[in-house]
């Protein structure tokens, strides 16, 4: 196990301890883009802890965090333009599932990924409420609390439990997701919404879910999860079936068996986001 992975797991655990101590207490909550898009002082405290620890261990590495840079800014777009040339860049979501955290629900995570020359090499997702630590290192498999995990082999959508999220962009992305739910709700065994993209990916990797799709997702939401799913023998594509890239916004991660059927229904429902 590499030093990068060990440090990422350690940092995720430390951030989780910090968050769990405050989850039932009062803290300041703000809106970002709209009333559906929340950020708290604990998002910032968690991100500050993670960045400080990464810099302590790897002072020359770059860091992109959800609360430190916003999509659409010059800094974010410049980073995407240069990612293939950067030796080490960490992608951090200090709380994936802030709304869950604010409401005292257990489905929130810390997500940390390491990118090297445009490829994801390390992914860690920690659910502190249930002490679930998911991790993967490229080419070395995926694990949950030390036990290797694999996607579930179910081959039919009507025998599958799938998942999605409700994007904060209610004018476009959420409408596409609702279109998809309307179509898939009558053909899949069931649909679950846990409120954390990273957790959805992790549960696909662990065989708890058969697929997860969402429109308008950000790289910090899923970078770690993408690697974990792939290392668990799953597959990750955009909602048209093209291979995942770091710039992919409309995403499907699945066991690879129900992917084509899922895409067909999303296309029929105008739910791909394209």
| Catalytic residue (choose from 93, 137, 231, 259) | 93
Does the active-site annotation cover 26?
A: no
| Catalytic residue (choose from 96, 152, 231, 261) | 96
Does the active-site annotation cover 96?
A: yes
Find, among 169, 138, 116, 158, the residue nearest to 231 by Cα. 138
What span, in angstroms and rounded, lies between the C-alpha atoms of 16 and 32? 23
Q: Is 74 annotated among the ligand-binding residues?
A: no
Does the active-site annotation cover 155?
A: no
Q: Using N-to-C axis directions, what is the helix angle for 41-57 and 3-22, rounded to 10°?
A: 150
Q: Please, are residues 136 and 114 in contact by the beta-carbon 8 Å criterion? A: no
| Catalytic residue (choose from 66, 67, 259, 261) | 66
Q: Please, are residues 15 and 110 in contact by the beta-carbon 8 Å criterion? A: yes
Q: Is 93 annotated among the ligand-binding residues?
A: yes
| Catalytic residue (choose from 95, 115, 228, 263) | 95
Does the active-site annotation cover 85?
A: no
What span, in angstroms and rounded, lies between the C-alpha atoms of 208 and 31? 32
Does the active-site annotation cover 66?
A: yes
| Catalytic residue (choose from 221, 231, 259, 261) | 221
Does the active-site annotation cover 217?
A: no
Q: Is 85 annotated among the ligand-binding residues?
A: no
Find, among 226, 236, 233, 230, the residue nearest to 259 by Cα. 236
Q: Is 228 annotated among the ligand-binding residues?
A: no
| Catalytic residue (choose from 40, 98, 164, 272) | 98
What span, in angstroms and rounded, lies between the C-alpha atoms of 255 and 236? 9
Q: Is 260 annotated among the ligand-binding residues?
A: no
Annotated binding-site positions: 66, 93, 95-96, 221
Annotated binding-site positions for Mg(2+): 66, 93, 95-96, 221
- State the catalytic residues: 66, 93, 95-96, 98, 221
């Amino acid at each position: 196990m590499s030093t990068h992975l060990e440090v990422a797991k350690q940092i995720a655990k430390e951030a989780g301890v910090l968050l769990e101590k405050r989850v039932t207490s009062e803290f300041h909550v703000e809106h970002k883009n709209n009333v559906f898009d929340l950020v708290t002082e604990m998002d910032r405290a968690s991100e500050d802890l993670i960045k400080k620890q990464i810099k302590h261990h790897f002072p020359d590495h770059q860091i992109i965090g959800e609360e430190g840079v916003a999509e659409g800014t010059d800094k974010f777009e410049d980073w995407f333009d240069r990612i293939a040339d950067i030796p080490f860049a960490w992608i951090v979501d200090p709380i994936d599932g802030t709304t869950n955290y604010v409401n005292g629900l257990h489905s929130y995570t810390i997500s940390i990924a390491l990118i090297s020359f445009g490829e994801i090499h390390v992914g860690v997702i920690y659910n502190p409420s249930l002490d679930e630590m998911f991790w993967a290192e490229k080419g070395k498999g995926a694990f949950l609390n030390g036990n290797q995990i694999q996607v579930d082999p179910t081959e039919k959508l009507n025998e599958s439990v799938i998942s999605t999220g409700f994007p904060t962009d209610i004018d476009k992305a959420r409408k596409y997701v609702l279109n998809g739910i309307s179509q898939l709700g009558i053909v899949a065994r069931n649909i679950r919404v846990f409120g954390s993209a990273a957790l959805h990916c992790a549960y696909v990797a662990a065989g708890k879910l058969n697929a997860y799709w969402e429109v308008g997702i950000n790289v910090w939401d899923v970078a770690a999860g993408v690697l974990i799913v792939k290392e668990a023998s799953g597959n990750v594509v955009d909602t048209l079936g093209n291979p995942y890239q770091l710039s992919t916004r409309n995403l499907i991660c699945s066991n690879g068996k129900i992917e084509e059927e899922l895409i067909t229904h999303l296309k029929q429902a105008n739910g791909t986001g394209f």
